[in-house]
Structure 1
């Protein structure tokens, strides 16, 4: 296993380099870079030139002295050749220095720490609710396969899967936030959060997080539920289950002691990827819709403003976390099922 882990760790290096190289190359050809953005903001004009007749072209550099333009380029490091900038960036990332934001004047690490609580809130609730509801539901569907309960629950979870999270979020906001006014429309906590008691803080937090979590979690029920059901059905039909029943074991003991252990292998091995992925994926539209300032919104705004240190820094961090998580998921197969051998 040691040689396998070492080989996978070494393969992460070219993967990271490839991701960073492709992204770095693409952003060199994107119009309206940080220099133009700075000039536009300095003039108090819109990011697309300031007039409707030229809305598709950047004109921020017009009317600026050449010397001043060169100073601004030097400020952002664009006075250096592209290969040199790429090598310098790799040197920073090797030291886990993600750089400093062009426009927010903060280290990228600091920005990630500031936005992480929102993404953790959404990610943890989405992950735990998905598994706590979907796994028992999938087991119940497998035991009652072909029944009316199985058909109705399949219809419900597939309808939830077909509705995009942001569409459901809009409906929840309009109905429960706007018309009925049962839930707040934005934010993770109320403005008087600091003055509330401990119990009131918990209630206020759950009150604010109810709608965004509902919009995030409904679509994830179908995959886990159907995977649990299908793996259970596959195990129930195997010979060892028939043997256990023939020995006189109760159906409850057969299901929970023998079938469950083998049926949950695909789910358990997917825990690391699902747990980490809940923090960093799929939250942009939900965060924007409910005015939650998290990592998804940070990444989107950084792309729009051409804040390249934040874009590349978060990309590097998320890619590294994804590769490590994938390795852990693969190693979980050995821990859960000793029959698996990497050699």
Structure 2
């Protein structure tokens, strides 16, 4: 078990290094850099910079270096905890990310918990009530959830909130609690605002899990050991949850990393539409302004969370299925 975890941690480190290089390269693919954006903005206001001033600024921001030099400097500082300076915000990147990371983690973990709870329970119900009215209703809702993009669902809810219920669904806090110190009232206000982003982000993930859980459990319920156990008089609830559900959970658990990736990407889009104070909207602004250190650091942090989610799914799979442990020993 320890050797398995050690190997997974080694793979995780290699993956993060490759991700960091790819991320940094993709961010710099568009023509120009942050300084070009600043020069273009000044030109619109009839403020022209001299060549000497441009070169001085390029040297100050480290934009006169080659791509490899910039990457090596950034990743070396990143490992030491220095994420660089944000061009756009004119301050260190780390405090900017730490300011928004808690909201991102809260939304992502809450969405993950709700998605898996709803997906597994409804999937079990759908499989054990095959071809019933409830099964058909769940299937239709599931297909709608898979087919509806997060941003469209968010826009629909915003429109209904404003026009029908006269409620502002933007943000994670009411206006009076945005700058208020943390306490019980602010926490309750946060909990009251969480269901909307959780529903928007987790709808497609829950719909997908329902389909997977239903298909896998139906396959298990038709196997001989289930038929034999049922013929021996074992109660239906004990029969279903003792073995078939545990086996059917394997692909659901192994897909935890993929679902977490979807939740993180969905959170990014949803935060822009709903105005959530998360890393999603911060990343969007950094990409627009080619703020490479801020954008690269956010992607790296989110990538690390995603890889950790994949590692957690592998660990849970080993715990849930004894066959994997025995296979590793042989």
Task: Answer whether TM exceeds 0.5 for this pair.
Answer: yes
Q: 1:323 and 1:131 mapped to 2: Cα distance?
A: 18
State which structure, 1 or 2, has the greater radius of gyration over its C-alpha atoms: 1
Match of 2:44 in 1: 45
Deviation (angstroms), 1:305: 0.7
Residues 274-285 of structure 1 correspond to what in structure 2 (within 5 A)?
274=259, 276-277=260-261, 280-285=264-269
Please tell me whether the aligned partners of residues 151 and 273 of structure 2 are also in contact (alpha carbons under 8 angstroms).
yes
Find out whether 1:301 has 2:285 as its counterpart: yes
Match of 1:328 in 2: 312
Match of 1:288 in 2: 272
Q: 1:22 and 1:132 mapped to 2: Cα distance?
A: 34
Match of 1:31 in 2: 31
Q: 2:23 and 2:184 mapped to 1: Cα distance?
A: 46
Match of residue 317, structure 1, among 288, 301, 304: 301
Residues 126-275 of structure 1 correspond to what in structure 2 (within 5 A)?
126-181=111-166, 183-193=167-177, 200-201=185-186, 203-271=188-256, 274=259
TM-score normalised by structure 2 residue count:
0.86
How big is the alpha-carbon RMSD for the aligned residues of Structure 1 and Structure 2?
2.9
Match of 2:89 in 1: 104
Deviation (angstroms), 1:28: 4.0
Q: 2:202 and 2:26 mapped to 1: Cα distance?
A: 33
Q: 2:169 and 2:312 mapped to 1: Cα distance?
A: 38
Please tell me whether the aligned partners of residues 184 and 207 of structure 1 are also in contact (alpha carbons under 8 angstroms).
no
CA-to-aligned-CA distance 1:168-206 (integer Å, 9 cap, x gap):
22111112223331x214221122227799665455334
Match of 2:103 in 1: 118
- Cα 1:16–1:136 change in 2 (3 A) is closer
Match of 2:19 in 1: 19
Please tell me whether the aligned partners of residues 27 and 296 of structure 2 are also in contact (alpha carbons under 8 angstroms).
no
- Cα 1:211–1:322 change in 2 (3 A) is closer
| Bigger helix fraction | 2
Deviation (angstroms), 1:3: 4.6
TM-score normalised by structure 1 residue count:
0.83
CA-to-aligned-CA distance 1:135-164 (integer Å, 9 cap, x gap):
221111111112222112211221122111
Deviation (angstroms), 1:269: 4.0
- Cα 1:124–1:326 change in 2 (3 A) is closer
SS at match of 1:264: helix
Please tell me whether the aligned partners of residues 280 and 295 of structure 1 are also in contact (alpha carbons under 8 angstroms).
no
Q: 1:82 and 1:134 mapped to 2: Cα distance?
A: 44
Find out whether 1:93 has 2:78 as its counterpart: yes
Please tell me whether the aligned partners of residues 34 and 305 of structure 1 are also in contact (alpha carbons under 8 angstroms).
yes
Deviates more, 1:293-302 or 1:131-140: 131-140
Deviation (angstroms), 1:300: 0.9
Deviation (angstroms), 1:72: 0.2
SS at match of 2:310: helix
Gap regions ≥5 residues in structure 1: 51-59
SS at match of 1:139: helix
SS at match of 2:82: coil
Match of 1:53 in 2: none
